[in-house]
Amino acid sequence: MSRVIIIGAGGVGNVVAHKCCQESAVFADILLASRTVSKCEAIVQRCLARYPESNIQGVAVDANQDDALDQLLGQYQPALVINAALPYQNLPIMRACLRHGAHYVDTSAPEPDPEKYEMFAYHWQFELDEEFKKHGLTAALSFGFDPGVTNIFCAYAKKHWFDEIHSLDILDCNAGDHGRAFATNFNPVTNIQEVIQPGYYWENGRWEKIQAFSESCVYDFPEIGPRKMFLIYHEELETLVKRLPGLKRARFWMGFTETYMKHLEVLRNLGLTEMEPIEFDGAKVAPLEFLKETLPDPAGLGKGYKGKTNIGCLFEGVYQGESRQLYVYNVCDHEAAFSETGSQAISFTTGVPAMIAAKLVLEGAWNRPGVWAPEDFDPDPMMDALETYGLPWAVEEEVSCVT
């Protein structure tokens, strides 16, 4: 029976709130805090309508402000904070958890910015490892689907299915249709920054860099069929290549439709995907932040969204002296996700693992002081829980390859 704060009232925060209310025996007291309090209140109303026995309230907070976080955590005294806001809030919220004795869970890491700092994204969060250990607190990083469940699939494959994994391809395919000309499925600023950066993959012990969208493949997905996929850099590769001994190659592929690619190309050509502020009417504005305001709110895409996602890991390696290849994946239906929570499948597949990770930390199975990537935990309890909370997984042994 624990008190938790969920920070962020977007599509993902909405799913986390619903799933915590579903488990009111663990999440006895829930505070949903975000920048725009009306969004918290709308989610609270939906949660109470579906789970009338749950105990949830909404409140405003600006998680970039240390004093606002101190007031929030000081008054509410949560056992754990789930950060469902943006990766820019990871560090302020982690530090507030240290000051107020709360465990911490989030869903993603900030995008690397090679112009300003090093290529990879987790560095700052792992620097807090000693502090978390000293305070006896657990920080479970990046528990969405990818990163998150994809890391857990890797840990599970290493533990149960392979003696050595030689090749890893993470495949993220959204075959859904939201009916809009152009929209991103999660926060437009983080989504667009993620896909336009150079593509990195790991081969023979080093990182190879390619131009954005310069490598593609077609993969034949279970329940979806063939889809064109592009090689992009994604944060889970950073930790996975260090934790899978014997790995020779690791890549991440994401599917984009031609319409999405066409719009993105035009927006890039117009300079609207830049984060460097420009002056407009006496004010400094980052073009991408401005663009975000003109695009559909990802949290509002759910109604009428049709089709499915298929996200999974394709492994090649060796088991008991024989070579082995398999694909482990989840299929999530946008309409089913929406009818349960009011959010589409991308938010659903992100919010469910965040709740499960929080539950495992609070119940003790994953109470492990320090700062950890998902694959640092025993994967079995999460693999057991995924189907219970709406994300069943499946394995195929006869798989097509990514070439």
Q: Which residues bind ligand NDP (CB under 6 A)?
A: 7-13, 34-36, 39, 61-64, 84-87, 89, 107-108, 142, 144-148, 186-187, 190, 298-299, 346-347, 350
CB of 136 to ligand NDP, least distance (A): 27
- What is the Rg, in whole angstroms, of the alpha carbon atoms belonging to the chain? 20
d(CA 115, CA 198): 12
Helix (H, G, I), strand (E, B) or coil at 306: strand
CB of 205 to ligand NDP, least distance (A): 26
CB of 217 to ligand NDP, least distance (A): 21
**Beta-ladder partners of 263:** none
CB of 178 to ligand NDP, least distance (A): 13
User: CA dihedral defined by 389, 43, 61, 146, rounded to 10 degrees?
Assistant: 30
Ramachandran quadrant class, 10 (left: phi over 0; alpha: psi -120 to 50; beta: rest): beta
Residue (4 or 7) nearer to ligand NDP, CB: 7
d(CA 311, CA 352): 14
Helix spans in 205-297 (H): 236-243, 258-269, 287-294
Amino acid identity at 8: G
Residue number of the CB atom closest to ligand NDP: 10
CB of 51 to ligand NDP, least distance (A): 20
Residue (317 or 371) nearer to ligand NDP, CB: 371
Residue (147 or 302) nearer to ligand NDP, CB: 147
CB of 348 to ligand NDP, least distance (A): 10
CB of 25 to ligand NDP, least distance (A): 26
CB of 206 to ligand NDP, least distance (A): 26
On the 0-12 / 13-18 / 19+ scale of CB atoms within 10 A, 68 is: middle
For residue 122, give every residue at least 6 positions away whose Cβ sits within 8 Å of its Cβ, in sequence order, or none: 109, 141, 235, 238, 239, 373
Residue (236 or 316) nearer to ligand NDP, CB: 236
Residue (54 or 350) nearer to ligand NDP, CB: 350
Amino acid identity at 88: Y
d(CA 183, CA 292): 10
Q: CA nearest 298: which of 259, 337, 262?
A: 337
Determine contact, residues 41/57, Cβ cutoff 8 Å.
no
Residue (299 or 316) nearer to ligand NDP, CB: 299
Residue (81 or 346) nearer to ligand NDP, CB: 346
Helix (H, G, I), strand (E, B) or coil at 82: strand
For residue 117, give every residue at least 6 positions away whose Cβ sits within 8 Å of its Cβ, in sequence order, or none: none
Amino acid identity at 220: D
Residue (264 or 357) nearer to ligand NDP, CB: 357
Q: How many CB atoms lie within 10 A of CB 261?
A: 14
For the chain, give percent helix, strand, coil, nearest 5.
Answer: 40, 30, 35
Amino acid identity at 294: T
Residue (64 or 325) nearer to ligand NDP, CB: 64
Residue (2 or 174) nearer to ligand NDP, CB: 174
d(CA 31, CA 91): 20
CB of 207 to ligand NDP, least distance (A): 21
CB of 17 to ligand NDP, least distance (A): 11
